[in-house]
Amino acid sequence: MTAFPPPDFVRTSSAVPGIDVYMPRPPAETHQAVVDFHCPQCDGVTAYSAENGGLTCTFCGYYEPPRQEVVGKGAAAFEFTVETMDRAAQGWGVERKELVCERCAARLTLSTDSLTTTCPFCGSNQVIQAKAPQDVLRPRFLVPFSVTADTCREKTAVWLTNSWMLPSDLKRLARTAEFAPIYIPYWTFDATTQADWRAEVAHTRQKRVFRSGRWETETVTEWRWESGRAGVDFDDLLVDGSQHLSQLLLHKVQKYDLRALVPYDASFLAGMQAQAYEVGLEEAWENGRQTMRERTKKACQAQATSQRIRNFSMNLSFADENWRYILLPLYLATYRYNGQPYQVMINGQTAVIAGQRPVAWKKVLLAVGGMLAPALILGLVAFLLLYLAVGEGYGGLAAIAAVVAFVIGLVVAIVTVSHAAGMDNI
């Protein structure tokens, strides 16, 4: 005989006398406003280590393995319930939080979008777990850091020297740059789109016409109505939840492998910076939907029998929409060169790097000069040969070669300059 009720069920209210109702025990409230990390052996400060994926003590070497298993793409996703959308619209409420350091009792003030802090007085790492407007709106999953700051420095050193357009003294800056590990808020969206489309599609054919006493071939365009249905499955479309980072740089590094997702645990954030979302669920979903509908539009247009179309219209519906709020690892570094700040971002999972680099414009101008020099020399030679009327026609050839060299030099110079401009203009 099994025990009744089972141990994982609790009694709940009943609206009918004579009937008792039991429901599954709700998950225990484990909310802890601030989690302080210190070593159980030496009471020193512990922090998450990207090198071995657990908590380590910088003083005694104590190691604590990660507490969460990888769930990957199986991480729970949530629906767009009316309740969630209403709560998400409320935002985080207060603008700044007051925090008392658990170790030295110092009073700290930090912005509401910060999820972690390090006490400036005692150096302890603290993770702030602010109550979200709804439980699902707190970060539930994250991809832990697997790239160390040392790897970032090496990567940056290579990156800062892999182009002749860069100043030659940049490499030493890579050694001095401070790489700040930060968890960036992201929304992931799943959905299936289904669209019915209709458009006029151009079909061309050749026609022979007799005009002005002779036969000519004429191309005739016929527009025919076509229609169809297309759908796209979107799986974990990433939408950035931060407003303060360069979107251009972020897009270059944000290719994450979400198969490494783990359930949120404060220990992954120890010693790191972490940001709560600034772009709310509704706004992020609006951005995600824009991406989805444009891709679906392309899928529809790809079904047309010709690439020339007009009067395109489509009706699109979304199904199976789900979302997740996750944290993704990123290193941020800023270095100064000639008094100017330059930003670098490194993917904390894949070490993909992107950023701004100063350009040695003198080198570039010299190179441009070198590119145009052959044309100048050939031009001079052509001028002399033609002016002095010597060389029996070599002057003309030299002039043609000068023009060709000029065009080639100009094209290469333009490409070089625009490439250089793109390096520090992000």
Partner 1 sequence: MAAFLDEATWGRPSALANCPQCDGVFLLPESGETAVPCPFCGQANLTLLGAESVPPQAENPPELLVPFSANAAQLPQTLARFAQSTRFAPADLTPQNLHGRLRPLFLPMWLIDADAQAQWQAEAGFDYQVVSHREQFHNGQWRTQKIEETKIRWEPRLGTLQRRYENETAPALEQHAQLEQTLGKFRRQEAVAYQPQALGKAIVRLPNRPTADAWPEAQEAIKSRAAEECRQAAAADHIRQFRWSVQFAGQNWTQLLLPLYTTYYRDDEGAVRRVFIHGQTGSLRGERRASMKKARRWALGIAVIAAVLFVLSLVLAAAGYFQPDVLLPALITFVLALGVGITAVLPLLLAWLMNRQQKSLPIT
Assess 12 for contact with partner 1 (CB under 8 A): yes
* Residues 99-128 within binding reach of partner 1 (CB under 8 A): none
With contacts defined by CB under 8 A, name the span among 34-42, 58-66, 73-81, 129-137 that binds partner 1.
73-81
Strands 116-118, 180-211: pairing kind: unpaired
| C-beta separation of 303 from 196 below 8 A | no
Among 9, 63, 121, 394, binds partner 1 (CB under 8 A): 9
Shortest approach of partner 1 to residue 191 CB, angstroms? Answer: 9
Amino acid in the structure at residue 151: T
Burial letters 212-222, b for 16+ CB under 10 A, else e: eeeeeeeeeee
- For partner 1, which is the closer residue by CB, 102 or 196? 196
Q: Count the site residues for partner 1 by CB under 8 A.
A: 34
* Residues 144-163 within binding reach of partner 1 (CB under 8 A): none
Count of CB atoms situated within 10 Å of the CB of 380: 12
Q: Please report, to the nearest 10 degrees, the dihedral formed by the alpha carbons of residues 120, 123, 124, 125 taken in order.
A: 80
Assess 94 for contact with partner 1 (CB under 8 A): no
Assess 80 for contact with partner 1 (CB under 8 A): yes
Structure tokens at 20: 């008792």
Sheet of strand 46-49: strand arrangement: 46-49, 54-57, 63-64
Shortest approach of partner 1 to residue 241 CB, angstroms? Answer: 19
Tokens 């190691």 sit on residue? 63
Burial (Cβ within 10 Å: 0-12, 13-18, ≥19) of residue 117: buried
* Residues 283-322 within binding reach of partner 1 (CB under 8 A): 289, 293, 297, 312-319, 321
Shortest approach of partner 1 to residue 14 CB, angstroms? Answer: 4
- For partner 1, which is the closer residue by CB, 16 or 94? 16
- Interface pattern 316-355 for partner 1 (x via CB under 8 A): xxxx-x----------------------------------
* Residues 13-52 within binding reach of partner 1 (CB under 8 A): 13-16, 18-24
Helix (H, G, I), strand (E, B), or coil: what is residue 66? coil
Assess 204 for contact with partner 1 (CB under 8 A): no
Shortest approach of partner 1 to residue 334 CB, angstroms? Answer: 38
CA-to-CA distance for 162 and 157, rounded, in angstroms? 9
Closest CA to 305 of 197, 382, 385, 409: 197
- For partner 1, which is the closer residue by CB, 17 or 74? 17
- For partner 1, which is the closer residue by CB, 33 or 319? 319
* Residues 398-417 within binding reach of partner 1 (CB under 8 A): none
Shortest approach of partner 1 to residue 46 CB, angstroms? Answer: 39
- For partner 1, which is the closer residue by CB, 83 or 178? 83
- For partner 1, which is the closer residue by CB, 155 or 297? 297
Cα–Cα separations (whole angstroms), residue 153 to 52, 91, 165, 178, 345: 18, 37, 20, 9, 11
- For partner 1, which is the closer residue by CB, 84 or 188? 84
With contacts defined by CB under 8 A, name the span among 32-40, 80-88, 148-156, 251-259 that binds partner 1.
80-88
Among 25, 31, 61, 83, binds partner 1 (CB under 8 A): 83
- DSSP 8-state secondary structure symbol assigned to residue 38: B
Structure tokens at 6: 């089972």
Assess 76 for contact with partner 1 (CB under 8 A): no
Among 32, 52, 81, 221, binds partner 1 (CB under 8 A): 81
Shortest approach of partner 1 to residue 248 CB, angstroms? Answer: 24
Q: Please report, to the nearest 10 degrees, the dihedral formed by the alpha carbons of residues 146, 149, 151, 157 taken in order.
A: 150
- DSSP 8-state secondary structure symbol assigned to residue 71: -
Closest CA to 363 of 401, 416, 315, 411: 416
Cα–Cα separations (whole angstroms), residue 116 to 46, 125, 217, 297: 14, 8, 73, 41
Residues at the site binding partner 1, with contacts judged by CB under 8 A: 4-6, 9, 12-16, 18-24, 79-83, 85, 289, 293, 297, 312-319, 321
